[in-house]
């Protein structure tokens, strides 16, 4: 018994280590992929020729706003190097056991937030607003969980419930990684590209072209893309700690964040993929049609499942009736309070069982 208990503890410890390693690898792969691309193609673009003391190939943002570029560059570089180190050292169990690599990856995520806030816009106020979004998401999740725990008693959850919760966690983590990857790249290199030189209208090189041609469309893209990015980063931060993500998943707080992130992705795509209002409307109509078809299919499957259950219930009732019909009248009369002579307790038996007893 003692050996069995020890082997069970060892297996559970191995499972915990494997989950921690897979989580670190996922986060490290996310950080390495997006930071590598962003470092080679920095926000603002590159100078195309040697003019006015600028060398071709140098980042435009370094010339126009050196402090903002340095903030982006160092945050992005730290996240990239730390993710590579985590991928190399993930096989060391002692680092995984003491949560050293997980702490490093959390710092990487904060580095991504700083790099995005510095490189996605040119105004200090907008950078502050972007970084405040992550805090608002965390505050919402905490408030949602608190109200949920006040209305629901803490019940013991079995192994099956925990397995379902882990499956939901994996799905939410995959969405967060996908959303963080595409929104980080789109925020640093917005649709329409950048101005490569100053023009006569006072527009500065390195600024987004869409900002000057369609200001409202660019703002819709920027804020929706930023909300989706900060939501995904906040989801990843919450899904690291079991004490945080378990009540958040059970209260559906993370599901609400996921739905809002998907909606913001759709709006950002509609605003940034085209410069015509009709085309954006067509995109929303297309999304609505897809959702309508999906809801129709779900309704059809639900009705079919309900009909199958009724059919199985009716078939079970018919079989019971057929079984009762095969019992003779003599045995059916014994179904009352009387017992068979010399057979006590037969009054509690069914008619079929009494006939078999005879």
> Residue 16 belongs to what domain range?
12-148+162-275
Burial class (CB in 10 A: 0-12, 13-18, 19+), 2: exposed
**Residue 74 parent element (H or E):** helix 66-89
Q: Determine, yes or no, domain membership for 255.
A: yes
Q: Determine, yes or no, domain membership for 87.
A: yes
Indicate the length of the chain as a whole number.
Answer: 358
Q: Determine, yes or no, domain membership for 323.
A: no
Q: For the CA atoms of the chain, what is the radius of gyration?
A: 31
Q: Determine, yes or no, domain membership for 252.
A: yes
pLDDT tens digits for the chain (358 residues)? 433 333 433 445 566 667 767 777 888 888 898 899 999 988 888 888 777 777 888 888 888 888 989 999 999 999 998 888 888 887 777 776 667 777 777 888 888 888 998 888 888 888 888 888 877 887 877 787 777 655 555 455 567 777 888 888 888 888 888 888 899 999 998 888 888 777 777 777 888 888 888 888 888 899 999 999 988 888 888 887 777 778 888 888 888 888 888 889 988 988 888 777 777 777 778 777 877 787 788 788 878 888 888 887 777 666 666 666 665 555 555 554 444 444 454 444 454 454 444 4
Query: Phi, psi at residue 194, to the nearest 5°?
Result: -120, 155
The total number of structural domains that make up the chain? 1
Q: Determine, yes or no, domain membership for 327.
A: no
Closest by alpha carbon to 26, among 93, 98, 108? Answer: 108
Residues sharing a CB contact under 8 Å with residue 351, sequence separation 6 or more, in sequence order? 324, 327, 331, 332, 334, 335
Instruction: State in Å, rounded, how far the first CA of the chain is from the last one.
Output: 48
Helix axes 100-119, 215-240, angle to 10 degrees: 170
Q: Determine, yes or no, domain membership for 350.
A: no
Q: Determine, yes or no, domain membership for 171.
A: yes
Q: Determine, yes or no, domain membership for 195.
A: yes
């Amino acid at each position: 018994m003692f050996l069995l208990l020890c082997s069970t503890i060892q297996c559970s410890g191995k499972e915990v280590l494997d989950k921690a390693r897979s989580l670190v690898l996922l986060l490290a792969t996310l950080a390495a992929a997006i930071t590598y691309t962003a470092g080679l193609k920095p926000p603002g673009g590159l100078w195309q020729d040697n003019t006015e003391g600028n060398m071709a190939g140098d980042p435009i943002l370094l010339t126009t706003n050196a402090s903002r570029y340095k903030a982006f560059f160092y945050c992005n570089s730290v996240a990239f190097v730390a993710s590579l180190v985590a991928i190399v050292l993930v096989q060391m169990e002692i680092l995984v056991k003491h949560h050293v690599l997980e702490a490093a990856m959390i710092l990487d995520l904060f580095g991504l937030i700083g790099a995005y806030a510095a490189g996605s816009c040119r105004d200090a106020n907008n950078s502050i607003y972007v970084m405040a979004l992550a805090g608002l998401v965390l505050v919402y999740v905490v408030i949602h969980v608190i109200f949920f725990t006040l209305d629901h008693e803490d019940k013991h959850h079995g192994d099956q419930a925990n397995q379902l919760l882990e499956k939901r966690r994996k799905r939410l983590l995959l969405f967060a990684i996908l959303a963080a990857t595409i929104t980080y790249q789109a925020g640093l290199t917005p649709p329409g590209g950048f101005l490569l030189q100053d023009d006569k209208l006072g527009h500065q090189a390195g600024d987004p072209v869409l900002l000057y041609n369609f200001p409202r469309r660019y703002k819709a893209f920027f804020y929706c893309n930023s909300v989706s990015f900060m939501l995904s980063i906040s989801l990843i931060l919450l899904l690291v700690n079991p004490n945080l993500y378990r009540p958040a998943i059970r209260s559906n707080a993370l599901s609400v964040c996921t739905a809002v992130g998907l909606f913001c992705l759709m709006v950002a795509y509609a605003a940034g993929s085209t410069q015509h209002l009709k085309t954006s409307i067509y995109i929303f109509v297309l999304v609505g049609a897809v959702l309508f078809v999906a809801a129709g299919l779900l309704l059809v499957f639900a009705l079919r499942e309900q009909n199958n259950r009724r059919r199985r219930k009716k078939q079970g009732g018919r079989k019971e009736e057929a079984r009762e019909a095969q019992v003779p009248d003599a045995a059916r009369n014994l179904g009352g309070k009387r017992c068979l002579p010399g057979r006590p307790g037969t009054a509690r038996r069914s008619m079929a069982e009494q006939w078999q007893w005879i």
